Amino acid sequence: MSQRGGGVGVIGAGVVGLSAALRILQEHDGTQVTIYANRFSPHTTGDGAAGFWEPYAVGDTPVGDIVRWGQETFEWIERLAQSEEAKESGTFYVSSCHIYHEHVEDPIWKDTVHGFRRMTGNELLHYPGHTCGFAYTTVMSEGCRYVKWLTKRCKTLGAIFIQKEISDLAEVSSHDIVVNCSGLGARELVGDASVFPIKGQIITTKAPWIKHCLNFDDEGVYMLVGSQNVYIGGSSEKGNEDPTPDPDQSKRIWNDITRLVPSLCGAERVGEWGGLRPGRPQVRLEAEEVSLTNGEILKVIHNYGHGGAGLTLHWGCAEQCRRLIDQFYEQ
């Protein structure tokens, strides 16, 4: 890959931005990567997420893209989960079930996870009123550890971190290429009015006897097993701009999950968290030559709008960013 002197600028230090930066650093030794953000780990949305691998809240993103990006991400997390980096990166396998009142079709990701199967009638007897379910093994990239690990890996490979809110792409025009992973910030940065917040909320508990994830999609609640804690969620409030945990939502979540899973009644509640997912009608991942306010033309790769699937699609999207960067440099 030929390159000029400005290197690559990445806007955003969440899981999407960090993974894009890391993939560039891995593939192209000697390329200077500079990461700009107004906040870094542990203060990003990804830091608070449970990190359960499953495509969620990605709007009308083409199925082919979701499957490809998701598969590449699953394989990446799986490799980490089997490596000496597993503990520090917060990556591991979990068993899980989705449980429904009535029949649902197989999900588009069934061939990515391991051991996907329909639950038996005897298994569903434990969940009165639910007649359909499927079980499988997936992976976790636990946000509280994984985002820190990505940050550390980027620093080790020479990335420069600059704490600054970029309000105009002209501010980063010294770079050969800019990767825009600004999430909700894309509304202002590139004038994308289709971006909107989707508020999510979880309760963190200590429940060491819980070893299995459960997702009750009809009720909108779930129980996800982390390395130290069990995460109880959730909520999906489109347009809510306030990440502060809502006591009414917490009450609803807790009442619903303990009704469905009575063994959780003895769990110790140790914290609550709220975050704003960057929603969009479709994930935006494309290259563009942007005319700047200062009259220059900047090569930009947009990579944002991942909804609730940032930790599910991030590495596949980073791979596509890397390919697009190669094409830009080859021009």
Distance CA 34, CA 160 (A): 5
Q: How far is CA 214 from the centre of its chain?
A: 19
Task: Give the list of residues 6+ apart from residue 12 with CB closer than 8 angstroms, or none.
Answer: 35, 36, 37, 180, 181, 182, 183, 185, 304
Count Cβ atoms below 10 Å from residue 124 Cβ, excluding itself. 18
Question: What token pair was written down for 116?
Answer: 């996907």
Do 302 and 325 contact (CB within 8 A), yes or no?
Answer: no
Tokens 């979880």 locate to 202
Q: Which residues are annotated as a binding site?
A: 222, 277, 307-312
Q: Which residues are annotated as a binding site for FAD?
A: 307-312
DSSP letter for 262, please: G
Distance CA 288, CA 290 (A): 6
Positive or negative torsion for Cα 35, 38, 42, 43: negative
Q: Which residues are annotated as a binding site for D-dopa?
A: 222, 277, 308
Q: How far is CA 250 from the centre of its chain?
A: 22
Count Cβ atoms below 10 Å from residue 329 Cβ, excluding itself. 17
Do 24 and 322 contact (CB within 8 A), yes or no?
Answer: yes
